[in-house]
Amino acid sequence: MKKLLCVLLFLQMLVVTAVAEETTEAEASTGSWSQINQAVGKSENWQQLETDGRFHLGEKRTLEGYDKLYIMDWGTWPSMDGSTVCVPIAMELARQWLGLDEGDLNGFVNFSTTPYAYDRLTQGRPNPLVTIKSQGVMMDDAHPIDLVLATYPNADERRAAEDAGLELVYVPFCYDAFVFMVNAANPVDSLTVSQIQGIYTGQYETWKSLGGTSQQIFAYQRPHGSGSQTAMEELVMDGLEIENVPENYVSDGMSEAVQQIGNYDNGPGAIGYSYLYYVSTLVESSGIKVLSVDGVAPSPENLQSGAYPFTVNYYAVYRRGDTNTEAFVNWLVSAEGQRAVQQAGYIPLH
């Protein structure tokens, strides 16, 4: 049965050139690639930074009965999953260490988004359908996730790891900003933290008292468990309860949130939230603008200094005791690894 599945997957892989890889898990069927509509490639001045070969893929074996289809072991390369916003850094890591062709990276970096990635790590499940299309390779789908590159997990996700008897290690590897977006036509350029909290507790009905027009406020949210909703609940609201809203005010994906603010009928009065890297790099966002908070813009300097109130990190998360993945993460936060982080367009720790 597994061999038949592999054959069907490879046939699909070779015929269909889709942006997003399909997955057999229904709950992660869309994946991160469905939330990305901008090209993700090498930086203009890309450099090869790593050459010592410590982290590499393992041996590949021919799928029985097929000359050009293979199953490959993970070797010393950590099997990954993670947040949509971390797809480009995972691609850069694969460029640096594995030398994969650009056309293979969207199949090799097959992220399922934050909640599903943490669930796979906690439950010891694999990231299925990771492929190297040009080589006819499917990575071993029996190997559990070793490393999650993601936003910080929410309380439920942290509790799930504890209930499973796991001690997870969280290592920050870059800075980003949790930002608030409004329609480009909205005259408001900055909000205070208390004003943002007031919007999402239902205190304000229009933009007039916030420096805007009498346009009604449409405050969009994200589903509980998503990386951006976790940041909203734990970083921004600080214990305040977010107002319940109709289902159509909860954006399933980050790209949908951007579209709702920039393009839809409610756009002029809409507000939503995301991560600056996502908005500036991974999705078309010409119809929106990013607000300052307390008069502080989310610039690289303000993130590294901590001046921007909602400065966040992305984390490399793994099981304590996994020495191979620990070594990989240690490289990621080394001077050389941080150069790779910066080369992928993120703001390094140092």
pLDDT 10s digits, 159-196: 999 999 999 999 999 999 999 999 999 999 999 999 99
Residue 349 near residue 172 (C-beta atoms within 8 A): yes
- Please provide the distance, in angstroms rounded to a whole number, between the alpha carbons at the two ends of the chain: 49
Which range has the worst mean pLDDT, 115-129, 175-189, 237-251?
Answer: 237-251
- Give dist(CA 276, CA 259) in Å, integer: 15
Single-letter amino acid code for the residue at 339? R
Does residue 303 or residue 50 have the better pLDDT? 303
Residue 306, pLDDT > 90, answer yes
Which range has the worst mean pLDDT, 35-39, 65-69, 262-266?
Answer: 262-266
How confident is residue 341, by pLDDT bands cut at 50, 70 and 90? very high
330 Cβ partners below 8 Å, 6+ apart?
A: none
Looking at residue 67, what is its pLDDT? Answer: 82
pLDDT 10s digits, 53-91: 999 999 999 988 888 899 999 999 999 999 999 999 999
Instruction: Please compute the mean of the pLDDT values over residues 223-235 and round it to a whole number.
Output: 89
User: Which spans in the chain are helix H?
Assistant: 2-15, 87-98, 105-108, 114-123, 155-163, 193-201, 227-231, 254-262, 276-277, 300-305, 323-332, 335-343
Instruction: Please compute the mean of the pLDDT values over residues 196-214 and round it to a whole number.
Output: 96
Looking at residue 289, what is its pLDDT? Answer: 94
Residue-range domains of the chain with CATH: 12-19+51-173+314-348 (3.40.190.10), 176-311 (3.40.190.10)
State the chain's mean pLDDT as an integer: 88
How confident is residue 224, by pLDDT bands cut at 50, 70 and 90? confident
Which range has the worst mean pLDDT, 19-23, 85-89, 338-342?
Answer: 19-23
Looking at residue 265, what is its pLDDT? Answer: 58
Residue 16, pLDDT > 80, answer no
Residue 95, pLDDT > 80, answer yes
Looking at residue 1, what is its pLDDT? Answer: 46
How confident is residue 11, by pLDDT bands cut at 50, 70 and 90? very low
Residue 139, pLDDT > 50, answer yes
Residue 10, pLDDT > 90, answer no
- The H or E element that residue 72 is part of is strand 70-72
How confident is residue 21, by pLDDT bands cut at 50, 70 and 90? very low
pTM: 0.87
Structure tokens at 148: 């999650």
